[in-house]
Structure 1
Amino acid sequence: MNSRRKANKGNPTIWLSIDPTTVKQRIDTITERLERVRRQFESPVEAGYSNSQKED
């Protein structure tokens, strides 16, 4: 861990500048992209199994 990270870890004011809504949107965007990539490389059998799991 670099010294800047260490300094920020003990600094609670750094966390005040983080917007939870922005973080959630970013996570959702990344998750959506990962799902698209996963579906591209999924075999037809896995895709069928995956779809049946969503319906339960």
Structure 2
Amino acid sequence: MQRGICNCVCTLVEKIEVWSCGAFLAFLLALSRVYVGVHYPFDVVSGVLVALIAFLLVR
């Protein structure tokens, strides 16, 4: 029983690490798009909002 609980906690911690790394990389990518001048800040924020809404609907 003890081992099963530990495995669940480790899995949850690993998921949090993966999601935070992914979110950080997405943030850097969005920031680079604005910095390079390819997109306006409003475009990037709109894209992030659309992605979050799609994520919440699919999840």
TM-score (norm 2): 0.44
Which has the larger Rg? 1
Between the two structures, name the one with larger relative contact order (CA 8 Å, sep ≥ 6). 2
Structure with the bigger percentage of helix: 2
